[in-house]
Structure 1
Amino acid sequence: FVFTPKLPNPETPTFCSGYVVLLGDHVTTDAGTGVVHTAPAHGQEDYFAWMAHHAQHHSDNTITCLVDEKGWFVTPKPRNPETPTKSSHLTYAGCYTAEAGTDLAGLFVQTQGTAKVLEQLAQSGALVSVSEITHRFPYDWRTKKPILLRATKQWFAKLDSLHALGHQDTLEPLLNDTTISHVQKVMLEHGGTDAWWTQPLATLLAPGFDPAQYVKGTDTLDVWFDSGSSWYAVLPKDTVADVYLEGSDQHRGWFQSSLLTSLAVQRKAPYKNVITHGFILDERGQKMSKSLGNVLVPHDIIEGHPKKKIPAYGVDTLRYWVASTDYTSQVGIGPSTMVKISDHVRKVRNTARFLLANLNDFDPRVDAVAYDDMTSLDQYMLHLLHELQAQITDGLVDFLNVEMFDGLD
């Protein structure tokens, strides 16, 4: 289907006289007309519809994005008059740039650019009405500003045939204790880390390695390599850490880099357990931010903050909150949370005071009661105490603090 657009641009000789209507699976007919605008450079569903059309017709699928990385309309590039015009009206070579026009170049899309487009529609007689609506739109969590999607060129590593490398014979691994010590010695003798760039490959390689079999790389290592090799400097030789503890964002970072470097050098993981914790949010589940005014710092909880109307809870209350929280997911904290935690701490303290007061002059050699002589209620309480002890012990072994405090509650 082809229609004639209402916005001819006499300044652009390559004006496109019509556009093809695409069929898209993402468009529904249960609401509206079932016809939507398509912007392959600014929407994922539109992009897939565009690529599917060109895959079906074996035509050029080049996409020209008229918006730069700052959200401004870019100046349209003039078409080379010697280049023949392609038959498909969906080709972006000239058509879409002509639609944008030179009047839009340099204008921010979501402000001045939008106003200019409305002005052009009104001048051409194609504008029926203008009104504001409320709809869902992506916003940046940090700047709180709307996000404009853009199609950009990216490169990807094709991994389809990597599995074949697992059946290939490779050279002896270059990274081990001997080669690392040799490189360290070379750096000490030849001006530090600059030795990697100033010394030949034969000097950097340990004895027994043929320089003809290796190529010295000058690329920068992953930024996590330094922290990922911390086990080498911190742990005694042949020692494995009991726990590596970090946030959920470190599966790709510290956890992985530590595992890779350790496996390369000592053929084993540097840790026995990996614990992933969530992040601290406010009571509404929002990220703490100074701009939102929802930041709660530990000092205010411990010492109090009169201006914020936060009482002084003391360090034990804060410690109780940390220890009793399910760290495996996101953790919320705020004024009401601290009130509840303070009540828990008060109950524990009052119970401890009551027990200690009753045991003030207790002498187990004289006052102890044999289990068989106890009342059924006392025996049952000892049973509950034994279960609590087992629950706390298991929680400590499995690093599940929340299970220990569930037993106390």
Structure 2
Amino acid sequence: MLSVLRPQPWTAATGGLCWRCWGLGAARLSSSLPGSNGNASLEAKDKFQGTVLLPTSSFPARLSVNQQLEKELEIQQKCSFTELYLWQRERKTKKEFCLHDGPPYANGDVHVGHALNKIMKDIINRFQMMRGYKVHYVPGWDCHGLPIELKVLDELGEDAQHLSTMEIRKKARMFAEKAIEKQKSAFVRWGIMADWNNCYYTFDKKYEAKQLKVFQQMYDKGYIYQDYKPVFWSPTTRTALAEAELEYNQHASRAVYIKFTLSKIPRKLASVLDGLTPVSTIVWTTQPWSIPLNQAICYMPDSEYSVVKCESTGEHYILAADRVESTAEALETEFKVVATFKGINLQGGGYTHPTIPGREFPLLPANHVAMTKGTGLVHTAPAHGTEDYGVASHHHLPVDCLVDESGCFMEEAGPELCGKDVLGDGTETVIKMLSASKSLLKEETFVHRYPYDWRTKKPVIIRASKQWFVNTADIKDGAQELLKKVKFIPASAANGMLKMLDRRTYWCISRQRSWGVPLPVFYHKETGEPLMNSHIIEHIIKVVEQHGSDAWWTLPLEELLPKTVLKQVSRNANAIHYTQGQDILDIWFDSGTSWAYILEGADQKADLYLEGNDQLGGWFQSSLLTSTATRKKAPYGTVLVHGFTLNEKGEKMSKSNGNGLSPSVVINGDDETKAKSYGADVLRWWVAESNVFINVKIGPSVLDMARENINKFRNRLRFMLGNLRGFSPETDAVPNTEMCVIDQYMLHLLQDYSNKITDAYKEYDFGKVIRLLQALVNRELSSFYFSIIKDRLYCDEEKSSKRRSCQTVLVEALDVVVRSFAPILPHLAEEVFQHIPYIKEEDSQNSSVESEPLSIFRTGWIKSSSVWKKPGLVEAIEGACAIRNSFLESIPGKNSVEHDVIIVIEPGLLFEIMETLQAEETSSTSELNELMMCSQTTLVTKVPLDLPSDANIINGSFLINLEGGDIREETTYKVIIQLASAERCPRCRKYTTSSLLTPCPRCLEVIAEK
């Protein structure tokens, strides 16, 4: 509909009055008048300039870097940014919007990822608040766990080895508290709306008690259990890790092909293998260090396997039929297939261990064996693989772990391996052992994705140990059903989380660290048997609620395990026979129970959770699992997932990579690195403009463009503010029905824009918000409307109805525009609001207290009226614009005001529509003439007979489409372009006067009234 309003090549050639250069232009004009001299020029300029109503506003079109920073801090203080959250919480409204804040780690300075996340949340909260909702948003911090503990230990260096648990905890808390204050001050500087004196912290004793209450409920329902099984283990931090604490990096493994010689021929293959030289299976593995722990070789029962003869050695091997060719190629030999059979025929077979003489192990069926790589036969070490453990459990194999917490072989592994790092010299030794036993067929470097500890950036291993688990296998079906009712943005994120849940059969929640909430279990000193029940957990909850989790390490055992509680376990139980466990709860359990502490109401359900896509396997999931387990409800209605931040080269930014970008540097600049300062609003614009659902780039060029866009807005805003001087909406506004058609049309566009911008905010599509905003301000308003009404604003009589008509539109346009970008650019919105000439302190809506600050955020959302919607005007304006485009495109590089235009349209609907814009035949002040931006417009049904021979005639057509297509009429028209026949008015600079020294009739009338 608005295609004809897009900026055209003619914009540079348009005439009319320019705010800044009018005075200079008037001087040049007067000095060029026939017979004029310098004094006459000055006299002419002085005589008419004072009668032109040029815009005036103290609002600056551009701020210097220092001015920008000072202005933002001034605005935050003057408009009480820190008090806004509490103000809106006290409003009397039943509508509530809850955004539950996922807690960032309190382990260092903020980065642009924090900015992306927190600013998105703030945009949403400010929008909902302006719409009249009571926003519930409590910022929080994740204060426990490995990230913080590692920071403390790294800072202490060797001294850390001598610290007690309580000393580590005390230093970790101090570190977290300092980090929280630094991060909090950064969030305040970005303009984030919250009650910063009442945040939640996972080390708060009430939070810890609530967390243990959720743990108790899950324990009572049978979801918590202890088991000895393989888990991801970080040798560098000596603790178990959850899947969400891993990152997968490219890793070079020393992969090997090994032969395992059969010691027991499978019964069904006896006839096939009879008389052959010793037959071996071939296994490929990227973890040769685990070979000494081998307990079985697994095959796929339904797949095809082959016996092959090696042409170079004459040996016979068994491997998957589909892997014969690729394995021969890898071993640089040729295989001749002797026989092919189903994998089930391997049942009952056995082999000798390649590094442990005299040890025999079985060939076993398993469904996890893949045929996409390797040999189709899988080395199985139950203590060091999840699928391996499943095989061992089914076939009652031992699950012996011979690797200690540091990732080194234990004494039981034998003297050759004892004390050696399994990922280092341990691997080297095992390969030498395989070579010595003549079992090694080949070693190769294999680069693949491998799990790393997300904090130390070091590779992890899978290692069996006794841990505490949540049985997610019994929870995930319910969780998946609940998840299907949750709205995901983008929708594709839901499938990713569903798949992650599907793969998750258990959740290891115990950690071998000091800084966290203790897992409430005691162990018998002699038997090692765990002691945990609901009575004990209930008592520990009360202790923690009163003293905090430090009590687990500071109170006497008799207070942690009093007789009154022990009696409910056994009459003969005595606290002296027990010791408290030293494991803490996984920090994902810490943060995953935040809903129980923060969310209000019976449902305890947030409208929105918003975090990065890494939380699909982290906080989103742990929150869902704990909520599903305890109350069969999801803690959120909508989940919004954003991407990560990248530098302008597309590289992921992180502190460890040394390419991180500090939001403080973005805002304040950095003298050392010569980094420019941009202020908080530029940072916020970057967030809103970005496609946050994918990875987001940031850097100088992106930020420069954001600042330039904001400065363009400042110019447009200053134009509106400057032209509203002396205007009072209460007394001077023109009723909608009495407005000029062009002005009514602009209100129509504002109504349409208001609906679209509101919908975009509701859909959390801030990129669309920015696009709509730029289209309205730069195209519909600045390039189209402002250029048309300048003559009316500057040169009509100050209180004329036509001038008041467009001022009425400017009031509404300014209000709509500023409110629509206020959630994104709160500092600029408040600055504009302070400069609106007709708004005073006492005008602030809902101002019940005399000292309440003037703030746009206390006055509500866009208040467009349905009365503005007048689709019937569209044809009139767009028809005129089509004709105007024909005119302007024919005079490229020339000033439109130097021409007169004759528009010829045969009698009919289009002519009648144009008559609504110009009733008389010829006019220099009609709305049609205003749209054409020429000096004089003539509207006729026939081509005049007295046209000069050099007249420029342009042909065009316009399709009228009314009432949903019921009325369709394509009409042709002619535009006849001539040089203006009159002289140039020394006041309005249109060619509408009979003498260069005398203003035109319109201007004379205005001057006469002055």
> Would you say 1:106 and 2:419 are equivalent positions?
yes
How far apart, CA to CA, are the structure 1 residues paired with 2:372 and 2:680? 58
Alignment CA distance shift 1:322-1:257 (3 Å):
farther
1:282 equivalent in structure 2: 646
Identity of aligned residues (%): 33
Residue 425 of structure 2 aligns with an amino acid whose one-letter code is Q
Cα deviation for residue 279 of structure 1 reads: 7.9
Match of 1:24 among 339, 360, 366: 366
Match of 1:47 among 389, 404, 408: 389
> Would you say 1:124 and 2:490 are equivalent positions?
no
> Would you say 1:146 and 2:484 are equivalent positions?
no
How far apart, CA to CA, are the structure 2 residues paired with 1:2 and 1:319? 66
On the 8 A contact 1:224/1:257 being kept in 2, the answer is no
How far apart, CA to CA, are the structure 2 residues paired with 1:242 and 1:128? 58
> Would you say 1:299 and 2:664 are equivalent positions?
yes
> Would you say 1:345 and 2:706 are equivalent positions?
no
Alignment CA distance shift 1:223-1:280 (3 Å):
same
On the 8 A contact 2:453/2:460 being kept in 1, the answer is yes
On the 8 A contact 2:392/2:398 being kept in 1, the answer is no
How far apart, CA to CA, are the structure 2 residues paired with 1:275 and 1:6? 52
On the 8 A contact 2:670/2:676 being kept in 1, the answer is yes
Match of 2:403 among 55, 67, 70: 67
How far apart, CA to CA, are the structure 1 residues paired with 2:362 and 2:376? 16
How far apart, CA to CA, are the structure 1 residues paired with 2:592 and 2:451? 34
> Would you say 1:374 and 2:722 are equivalent positions?
no
Paired residue secondary structure (1:27): coil
Cα deviation for residue 117 of structure 1 reads: 1.1
On the 8 A contact 1:282/1:294 being kept in 2, the answer is no
Cα deviation for residue 356 of structure 1 reads: 3.4
How far apart, CA to CA, are the structure 2 residues paired with 1:313 and 1:382? 34
With a CA cutoff of 8 Å and minimum separation of 6, indicate the structure with the bigger relative contact order.
2
Alignment CA distance shift 1:272-1:360 (3 Å):
farther
Match of 1:312 among 661, 677, 680: 677
How far apart, CA to CA, are the structure 2 residues paired with 1:42 and 1:344? 56
On the 8 A contact 1:228/1:254 being kept in 2, the answer is yes
Q: Deviations over 1:99-130 (max 9, x none)?
A: x4331111000111011112222333333343
On the 8 A contact 2:350/2:362 being kept in 1, the answer is yes
Unaligned runs of 5+ in 2: 1-348, 476-537, 547-554, 569-579, 775-1010
Alignment CA distance shift 1:393-1:277 (3 Å):
same
Cα deviation for residue 65 of structure 1 reads: 1.5
On the 8 A contact 1:391/1:403 being kept in 2, the answer is no
How far apart, CA to CA, are the structure 2 residues paired with 1:380 and 1:300? 45
Cα deviation for residue 71 of structure 1 reads: 1.0
On the 8 A contact 2:392/2:399 being kept in 1, the answer is no
Residue 741 of structure 2 aligns with an amino acid whose one-letter code is T
How far apart, CA to CA, are the structure 1 residues paired with 2:636 and 2:445? 57
On the 8 A contact 1:65/1:151 being kept in 2, the answer is yes
Q: Deviations over 1:71-120 (max 9, x none)?
A: 111111xxxxxxxxxxxxxxxxxxxxxxx433111100011101111222
2:876 equivalent in structure 1: none
How far apart, CA to CA, are the structure 2 residues paired with 1:228 and 1:73? 42
Cα deviation for residue 315 of structure 1 reads: 2.7
Paired residue secondary structure (2:428): helix
How far apart, CA to CA, are the structure 2 residues paired with 1:147 and 1:300? 35
Q: Mean Cα displacement is larger for which, 136-145 or 151-160?
A: 151-160
Q: Could you say which structure has the larger radius of gyration?
A: 2
1:188 equivalent in structure 2: none
Unaligned runs of 5+ in 1: 10-14, 55-59, 77-99, 162-174, 185-192, 203-211, 213-217, 264-270
1:7 equivalent in structure 2: 355
On the 8 A contact 1:228/1:257 being kept in 2, the answer is no
Residue 773 of structure 2 aligns with an amino acid whose one-letter code is L
Alignment CA distance shift 1:399-1:42 (3 Å):
same
Q: Deviations over 1:345-365 (max 9, x none)?
A: 233223223333454566766
Residue 281 of structure 1 aligns with an amino acid whose one-letter code is T
1:170 equivalent in structure 2: none
Paired residue secondary structure (2:430): helix
TM-score of the superposition, structure 2-length normalised? Answer: 0.26
Cα deviation for residue 64 of structure 1 reads: 0.8
1:383 equivalent in structure 2: 748
How far apart, CA to CA, are the structure 1 residues paired with 2:563 and 2:749? 69
Cα deviation for residue 246 of structure 1 reads: 7.4
Question: Hey, which of these two has a bigger chunk of strand by percent?
Answer: 2
How far apart, CA to CA, are the structure 2 residues paired with 1:4 and 1:254? 48
On the 8 A contact 1:281/1:287 being kept in 2, the answer is yes
RMSD over aligned Cα, in angstroms?
5.2
Matches within 5 A, 1:103-252: 103-156=416-469
Alignment CA distance shift 1:288-1:50 (3 Å):
same
How far apart, CA to CA, are the structure 1 residues paired with 2:378 and 2:734? 84
Residue 4 of structure 1 aligns with an amino acid whose one-letter code is T
On the 8 A contact 1:229/1:257 being kept in 2, the answer is no
How far apart, CA to CA, are the structure 1 residues paired with 2:404 and 2:705? 51
Cα deviation for residue 337 of structure 1 reads: 4.0
Cα deviation for residue 250 of structure 1 reads: 5.7
2:931 equivalent in structure 1: none
Alignment CA distance shift 1:344-1:22 (3 Å):
farther
Cα deviation for residue 291 of structure 1 reads: 1.9
How far apart, CA to CA, are the structure 2 residues paired with 1:344 and 1:257? 45
1:93 equivalent in structure 2: none
1:92 equivalent in structure 2: none
Alignment CA distance shift 1:371-1:297 (3 Å):
farther
